[in-house]
Amino acid sequence: MDRFYPDHEIIVVNDGSTDQTAAQIRNIIKSNPKIALIDNQINRGKGAVVKQGILSAKGNAILFMDADGSTAIDSLTTLLSHLNSGADVVISSRRVKGAEIINEQPTYRIFLGWIFRKITQWLTHLDIIDTQNGFKLFRGNVAKEIFSKVTINGWAFDVEALVVANHLGFICEEVPIVWQNDSRSKVKLVGMIRMLADLIRISINLRRGAYDMSRAKL
């Protein structure tokens, strides 16, 4: 990171894990002050901790990424070029033309992902194919504006963030990236049910006009 982006910070949010993640990060921080740790003692959900990290960030551009490294940090250069060209939110996508997948997900995961995309588009009318890839870049002030209004604590928080961005009139662009599946990543039935419930909640919010909000002066 220092070689290409010398002026940066890395915020690691530990979501109440019981392994040695927090201890290892604390050791790294001793020799790298650009890394900060938010150590939650209880599990709050992915949406809650991404929001927590983003609202704590200070940069003019804010990236959130999954810890599994499925999308290489090198892709940040591509996303930044779109931000510099006028986009407010840049979404890395595995499913648009030009994307390269090194190690594809199992067939059942691809099928479940397709179903999720169709349900998402039906319930939210978002014109975005890959809402769930954990590698998204925002203008700093735009990220603060969006995530201050995000309410979903679970896995469907990405969808709500993009719905908020759309209703606030921000420019969102979906760009192809190089991606490889982490075989350790699993989808549990209970997680899928919770995601569906969150999508329904987002859809209800849309119909009630909860996202018809005015944009703050940035």
Q: What per-residue confidence (pLDDT) applies to 187?
A: 66
Mean pLDDT of the chain: 91
- Bridge partners for 93 per DSSP: 176
**Which residues are within 8 A (CB) of 93 and not within 5 positions of it... i.e. 6 or more apart?**
99, 129, 130, 133, 174, 175, 176, 177
Instruction: Yes or no: say if 40 and 14 are a contact pair by the CB < 8 Å rule.
Output: yes
CA–centroid distance for 60 within its chain: 17
Instruction: Yes or no: say if 91 and 162 are a contact pair by the CB < 8 Å rule.
Output: yes
Chain segment 171-200, per-residue pLDDT in tens:
999 999 999 987 776 667 788 889 999 999
- Bridge partners for 89 per DSSP: 138, 172
CA atoms within 13 Å, Cβ hemisphere of 103: 9
Query: Letter for the amino acid at 173?
Result: E
Q: What per-residue confidence (pLDDT) applies to 54?
A: 97
Chain segment 107-139, per-residue pLDDT in tens:
988 898 899 999 999 999 999 999 999 999 999
Where does residue 173 fall: left (phi above 0), alpha (psi -120 to 50 degrees), or beta otherwise?
Answer: beta
Task: Report which secondary-structure segment, H or E, holds 87.
Answer: none
The pTM is what?
0.91
Helices 157-167 and 46-56, packing angle to 10 deg: 50
The single residue listed with the structure tokens 């894990």 is 17
Q: Percentage of residues in the chain with pLDDT exceeding 90? A: 74
- Residues for the chain: how many in total? 218
The Cα diameter of the chain in Å comes to 50
Distance CA 14, CA 22 (A): 7
